[in-house]
Chains A and B, each alone.
Chain A
């Protein structure tokens, strides 16, 4: 297989480094084309065992294509890939037994009840979790006897997650798992993901919700036009940690805004100008969404 040199590889991976045998996922120079268009254009990435890694990017950036190559659903046109030490193009049943996959499309319609579906799924795996316990874990115990199509959108998605984890995977793929969740269901889902991490499960999460990535991920990678633009811990992405703080307050009836690298000193000085509280005081750093949108915007130019 020919290696396609990556044009740029920011983050902690350089194109010349060999595959990391200890990583849960190791990718070098991944290329995937559909006819004339190149969906993934030389992507390098290592995901450590036990890590939750979030892949962010706009629709069409190559997220799902990359994930589906890793899951063994798609052939690649170039590059080296190892998932749990195995090339997904040749991974067999034993390899698949270590994976859990929650697809974007979810499971199909079924006449089986939630518990029956989980029992059937468990029967494909060598060392499955107890289906009843998995239902408990995703909060669907009351729906054990209900057929899939009678569930609400959020409940169906939790059933998808249950099907993904019943095989006791060492590596779990979650493709936009919380689409259609209400805020409370999302919070519950997050705590489920954290408990899975505590059990040692590595997770690759793709999501459009930046708060979700920030809440869950140990590291995030931003993908745009088939390349990784940056890989960082959420707090550091896009130089967020060093970005100037924005201080806002109201003075003489006018809303005022100032950017400063030393917000503490600035606010102390500001406090001296007012007898009591500084009116409408707010200090903010750029949000993950701010830096994400800036990075996506830059890569489009």
Chain B
């Protein structure tokens, strides 16, 4: 009888190398797709241009609404680049078999998520940079100064992390990318209306303020207002202050909840095909 001798074990590529590959794939997938670029990157830019041109009334203390809207549109943009982008993108990849294909290769599963995080990070940084440039160039937005940049960084990072995790979790609820878009887009739009993006949060009815306070967008927008508005305007917040501690707490809780949901719900195959 012939004994089959196995070929010597071959050295697998390092996880870091595969993560680099996945990051490259994710960036190409995003920036080459017209829908995602228009939807995620251009939409907030258009909103800023339109709102900046139409609603430039004075909020008091010589601060224009555009300065207020800057914080809101950046928060909404981060939500789009993370929650909406992940929910739609991953639901699509799950329904068209991309995820199943990857699960059948020796790719470390973590590399897939690292690629997604890199995509969200690059898109978010690009979006914030574009919005700031337009704000400064066309609407005389005052850029944050000193430690405000630090607040900007942690609010954006924590909000983005919470929204990315939630988006990955939400992707499991949808049958495919289209149904994910149909579910997530209206929800995001409603949240934008009640979370102090398009209007001053203090003008939103109290019960809707309460609803908005459950979700991360309100806290991201509030944290970013502390960056873009003078501290004198903190008095017009419902709590009378920027509540940065509570911003960190709520966004942190959403990170934990989002992560738990991801771990429980994430699948590499379509439901009904398991």
Contact = CB atoms under 8 A, between A and B. Distances in A.
B103 interface: yes
Interface residues of A, number: 34
B239 to A, nearest CB: 45
Nearest to B274: A74
A108 B97 CA distance: 5
A120 B104 contact: no
Contacts of A125: 13, 105-106
A7 interface: no
A22 interface: yes
Contacts of B28: 111-112, 116
Interface of B: 2-4, 6-7, 9-13, 17-18, 21-22, 24-25, 28-29, 32-33, 92-93, 96-98, 100-101, 103-108, 269, 274
A101 B13 CA distance: 19
A106 interface: yes
A93 to B, nearest CB: 4
Given A103-B97, A123-B13, A125-B13, A73 B21 contact: no
A99 B96 contact: no
A131 to B, nearest CB: 12
A73 B269 CA distance: 9
Nearest to B9: A94
Q: Is the interface of B mostly helix, strand, loop or mixed?
A: loop
Nearest to A96: B106
A86 to B, nearest CB: 11
A101 to B, nearest CB: 4
A126 B100 contact: no
A9 B28 CA distance: 51
A21 to B, nearest CB: 9
B198 to A, nearest CB: 32
B29 A110 contact: yes
A112 B28 CA distance: 7
Nearest to B34: A111
B29 A111 contact: yes
